[in-house]
Amino acid sequence: MSLKEQIDLTKLPKHIAIIMDGNGRWARQQGRNRIFGHTNGVKCVKTTSEACTELGVRYLTLYAFSTENWYRPAAEVSGLMLLLLKTIKAELKTLLKNDIRLRVIGDMSVLPKGVVKELNEAVANTANNKRMDLILALSYSGKQEITNAVKKIVAQVKEGKVEEKDINEDLITNNLYTAGIPDPELLIRTSGEQRVSNFLLWQLAYAEYYFTDVFWPDFKQEELYKAIVEYQNRERRFGKTSEQLVTK
């Protein structure tokens, strides 16, 4: 049976989050510069999005650029921004054709104006698409997201819209960038690193983590299927015992 056939479509994760890592090392292995790695990484964004759409995954969140990534060499940062700009322009048609809604999470205010404009247009043009939400984490930091949520809630308290007794997990969830999006059930990180690097700290509280040594530009459809099959073989206990899960 192929890996794809092993996937139980009735038990798909609704939301998959991916830390796309290893572009630089992939490029170095072939004696090329880091941007070459990022350019090839974009191809895997496309194949992974299409594979998720085809399977019926409802939300796909991709970590494309962290707030910490701003501290990389200026040439790499500008190369990444240019690549982002070109990719959004070139792929809008594909998003529309595949009924994919583009969303962005992160601190948009620090992205180059041209990139923000292109992103806003693509987000607006795809806003009514229904098949899958493709969520790009750009200039994203989980700690910053939670800090912002706290500030928003304090402002609501000051305005008298929220009382202390209303402060609960749902209120915090609803003040994150990801408000309205269910938490990811599966987190994938490529390139052999086993850390969360400030990604979706609140939302990943009960996700299954899947690590693979494959570098992101080598993450083909089969790698995605492998991750989903492993996810489906895990027992998600949420604090309970196995026996409780069997008897319900």
Residues that bind Mg ion (CB under 5 A): 21
Nearer to ligand IPE, 70 or 206 (CB): 70
Nearest-CB residue for ligand IPE: 24
- The two tokens of residue 128 are 């009514």
C-alpha angle 116-120-124 in degrees, rounded to nearest 5: 175
Nearer to ligand IPE, 53 or 191 (CB): 191
Q: Among 7, 16, 17, 20, which residue interacts with ligand IPE (rule: CB under 6 A)?
A: 20
Looking at 69, 129, 148, 198, which residue is catalytic?
69
Nearer to ligand IPE, 218 or 230 (CB): 218
Residue 89 Cβ vs Mg ion, minimum distance, rounded to whole Å? 25
| Strand, helix or coil for residue 183 | coil
CB distance 173 to 206 below 8 Å: no
Q: Which amino acid is at 146?
A: I
Residue 13 Cβ vs ligand IPE, minimum distance, rounded to whole Å? 19
Residue 220 Cβ vs ligand IPE, minimum distance, rounded to whole Å? 17
Which backbone phi and psi does 168 adopt, to 5 degrees? Answer: -145, -175
Q: Among 7, 12, 22, 87, which residue interacts with ligand IPE (rule: CB under 6 A)?
A: 22
* DSSP-based helix, strand, coil % in the chain, nearest 5: 50, 15, 35
Nearer to ligand IPE, 80 or 132 (CB): 80
| Strand, helix or coil for residue 135 | strand
Round to whole Å and give the CA distance between 114 and 111: 8
CB distance 133 to 60 below 8 Å: yes
Catalytic residues: 21, 69
**Footprint of ligand IPE on this chain (CB under 6 A)?**
19-25, 63-66, 68-69, 80, 191, 193, 195, 197, 216
